[in-house]
Amino acid sequence: MGDEFLNLKEPYEAKNILNSLKLKKTVEMVDIRNCLGRVLADDIYSSIALPPFDRVAMDGYAVLAKDTFGASEDNPKALKLIEVIGAGDKPQKNIVDGTCTEVGTGAPAPQKADAVVMVEYTEKSGDDILIYQGVAPGENITKKGTDIEENNLLLKKDTVLTPDKIGVLSAIGMATIPVYVQTKVGIISTGNELVTVGEDIDYGKVYDVNSQSITSAVLSCGCIPISIQIVSDNFEALKNAINSLIDDADIIITSGGTSAGAGDILRPVIEDMGKVLVHGISFKPGKPTLIGIIEGDENKILIGLPGYPVSALMVFESLIAPFLRRTSGWKAVVSGPISVPLKISRRFHSSRGRTHQLLVKVQDGLAVPIQKDSGAIAALAHADGYLEIPKSTEIIEEGTIVEVKLFQR
C-alpha cells in the first residue's frame, strides 16, 4: 500500500509522449452519403472539367456577338430563332450569321455561339428575336473548365469532410470516397461498486458513469467505441477484459484502479502485458492518469483514467480527445471551434503546483467558475465547458479573458 507515483509528468510531457505513439492508418472506401465528418485519405484530383462544357449563365438567346453590335432600343437587331435549348438538353444546331437559339441557365452553349443576350433585352417577333442591346464576345457564357480544370488537385489528403467538401466531391461525380478507417476504442470501467444504468442498485453500489460519458466522448471525436464492459477490481478480471478487446481495439481506455493505493490494479496489469509510459500527471483533477503501450505489429495503447467521473471526463477532454481526433485525421481549423474567449465572472484563486482544469458555466457571456470537488456529478450538470489554468497562475482577476473549451456534442 501507499506505492507513490514514481515520476509525476507535466501535462505537456504526457501529451508529447501520447502524440509520439503511432497508430496504423488504414483506408476504406465509403459511400459519399455516409462521409460526413470522415477524413480524406487521398489527394483528390478533378476527373472532369467544371463546367464540363461551355455553360449558359443567364436565360436568354445564344448568338454570335458580332450580330448584336450596335443594337439599341431604337435600333433592334432581328435574329432568326433556330432552336430552343434548356438545361440538360443537347444543342443540335450551330449558330450561324443572323441566327440565335433560345437558351436556359445551365444549358450548354450551342456550337459557334460566343455570347448570350439576357432575355430582358429581347422581344419575340414572329420567328425572329429582336435584340435591344449588344453583347461582347464571351458575355453570359461560362467557359468549360473555368471553375475547375480537369486533373487539377481539388482536395488534399487529411481534409475533414464537411458539407461543402462533400459538395466538391459530388461535383466531379464521386460516389465512394477514400477515407481513413476510424480508430476503435475499447472502454472498460473497473470497480466492484459499479452497476450498469437501468439495473437495480444495492446498498454500497453506484451507477457506472464513465462507460456512458467516455463512450459519447469517443463518438464526438469521430472514433468508434467498442465493447463496453464493467469489470471487478481484480488483476485477472482486468487482464482478461483487456485481452478480449485487444484484437479489435486500437486503444483501450479504462477508468478506476489507477490511484497509488489499495485495489489499484491497472499498473501491474499493464506491466504484465506491456509497459507503463506515464503514471501520474500534474493535473487537477486527474493526477492518477496512466498511459501504457503493448508493442507489436500494431501498437495498442492503454489509457487509465481516474475513477471519479468528473476527473475521468476532464482528463479525456484535455489529453485524450485531441489525440483521438488526430488519429482520426481530424484537424481543427485555427485553434478549433471548441474554444471561445470569454471574460471570467469573478476573481479566481487557483491551486498552485498543478495545471488546474476548472469547470465553468457560460452565463450572460461570462465564464462562471464552478467549484466542486472532483467527485461531484452536480458540477457536470451545470458546466458548459472548462478552462485550463497553468500551474504558475495563482490568481485570475475578475474580467480577465480566458479561453473556454466548450463541451462538444
Q: Of 227, 301, 255, give the one whose Cα is nearest residue 19.
A: 301
- In the complex with its own copies, the residue whose CB is nearer, 205 or 391, is 205
- In the complex with its own copies, the residue whose CB is nearer, 1 or 392, is 1
Tell me how far, at minimum, the Cβ of 43 lies from its own copies, in Å: 12
Peptide bond into 51 cis (omega under 30): yes
Tell me how far, at minimum, the Cβ of 169 lies from its own copies, in Å: 8
Q: Residue 190: beta bridge partners?
A: 231
Beta-carbon contacts of residue 126 (< 8 Å; ≥ 6 apart): none
CB-based contact 143:96 (threshold 8 Å): no
Tell me how far, at minimum, the Cβ of 297 lies from its own copies, in Å: 31
Tell me how far, at minimum, the Cβ of 347 lies from its own copies, in Å: 22
How many residues can be counted in the chain?
Answer: 409
- In the complex with its own copies, the residue whose CB is nearer, 220 or 393, is 220
- In the complex with its own copies, the residue whose CB is nearer, 46 or 99, is 46
At 83 the three-state DSSP class reads: strand
CB-based contact 303:290 (threshold 8 Å): yes
- In the complex with its own copies, the residue whose CB is nearer, 277 or 315, is 315
Tell me how far, at minimum, the Cβ of 5 lies from its own copies, in Å: 14
CB-based contact 253:214 (threshold 8 Å): yes
Q: Which residue has the cell 481495439?
A: 249
Q: Of 47, 43, 41, 33, give the one whose Cα is nearest residue 167.
A: 33
Tell me how far, at minimum, the Cβ of 274 lies from its own copies, in Å: 26
Tell me how far, at minimum, the Cβ of 89 lies from its own copies, in Å: 6
- In the complex with its own copies, the residue whose CB is nearer, 185 or 293, is 185
- In the complex with its own copies, the residue whose CB is nearer, 133 or 192, is 192
Count CB atoms within 10 A of the CB of residue 227. Answer: 15
CB-based contact 268:295 (threshold 8 Å): no
Q: Residue 160: beta bridge partners?
A: 39
- Residue 146's alpha-carbon distances to 90, 150, 158, 279, in angstroms, are 20, 10, 26, 57
Peptide bond into 285 cis (omega under 30): yes
- In the complex with its own copies, the residue whose CB is nearer, 8 or 273, is 8
Tell me how far, at minimum, the Cβ of 20 lies from its own copies, in Å: 26
- In the complex with its own copies, the residue whose CB is nearer, 152 or 243, is 152
At 209 the three-state DSSP class reads: coil
Tell me how far, at minimum, the Cβ of 371 lies from its own copies, in Å: 13
Separation of alpha carbons 267 and 288, rounded Å? 11
Q: Residue 99: beta bridge partners?
A: 80
Count CB atoms within 10 A of the CB of residue 267. Answer: 21
- In the complex with its own copies, the residue whose CB is nearer, 53 or 132, is 53
Separation of alpha carbons 110 and 56, rounded Å? 9
Tell me how far, at minimum, the Cβ of 179 lies from its own copies, in Å: 12
295, amino acid identity:
E
CB-based contact 383:407 (threshold 8 Å): yes
- In the complex with its own copies, the residue whose CB is nearer, 81 or 166, is 166
Separation of alpha carbons 111 and 114, rounded Å? 8
- Residue 178's alpha-carbon distances to 43, 136, 250, 268, 289, in angstroms, are 9, 44, 20, 41, 36
Tell me how far, at minimum, the Cβ of 238 lies from its own copies, in Å: 14
